[in-house]
Copies of this chain bind each other. A is one copy, B any other.
């Protein structure tokens, strides 16, 4: 039954994500993964036709996180929301672990028609929303379109997190974001300095 199938698949997905968080890339080897999950390789391929499906899991998870957990916490102040977004992104990476962060920052380009970097992805939509509303309300001050702002923000944030993962998490990612993200954004926000930490 499809219902059952999807439920089991979701269950396995969660276990796999947890495994990747704990053990990183290693967990992506089918045999090892199956051992850890206590299933046969046959079963794995029953639910995940290809190994690369695993990568989609990581993307779905981050999208879910931002849609379900973050968006409800937003306030009417889009500048604050933006800061919240950036810090949440960093916190997500820090919690998810170096390995998983490295993984979804670097590995996949696009796979089976699904573009993981796409602005169509929910996480980008959340960000675009922030800029749309912020520009409307005059909280941001830039000639860029909301889509451009969102794109730029994602590139920078991903850069931050990937650097952290490449350095094996040997510094405080959240602190780094709090210190340097304002620099990246200041140019787009009138009076950002007054509304958050500043390096000056």
Contact A117 B167 (CB under 8 A): yes
Q: Which of A29-81 contact B (CB under 8 A)?
A: none
Q: How far is the CA of A142 from the CA of B162 in the complex (A)?
A: 25
Task: Answer whether residue A7 sits at the interface, using C-beta atoms and an 8 A cutoff.
Answer: no
Contact A199 B142 (CB under 8 A): yes
Task: Answer whether residue A18 sits at the interface, using C-beta atoms and an 8 A cutoff.
Answer: no
Q: Which of A135-188 contact B (CB under 8 A)?
A: 142-144, 152, 155-156, 158-160, 162-163, 166-168, 180, 182-188
Task: Answer whether residue A109 sits at the interface, using C-beta atoms and an 8 A cutoff.
Answer: yes
Q: Which residue of B lies closest to A158 (CB)?
A: B159
Q: How far is the CA of A166 from the CA of B110 in the complex (A)?
A: 8
* Closest Cβ–Cβ distance, residue A185 to chain B (whole Å): 8
Number of copies: 4
* Size of the chain A interface, CB-CB below 8 angstroms: 28
* Closest Cβ–Cβ distance, residue A27 to chain B (whole Å): 17
Contact A168 B106 (CB under 8 A): no
* Closest Cβ–Cβ distance, residue A30 to chain B (whole Å): 13
Contact B167 A152 (CB under 8 A): no
Task: Answer whether residue A200 sits at the interface, using C-beta atoms and an 8 A cutoff.
Answer: yes
B-binding residues in A (CB < 8 A): 105-106, 109, 117, 142-144, 152, 155-156, 158-160, 162-163, 166-168, 180, 182-188, 199-200
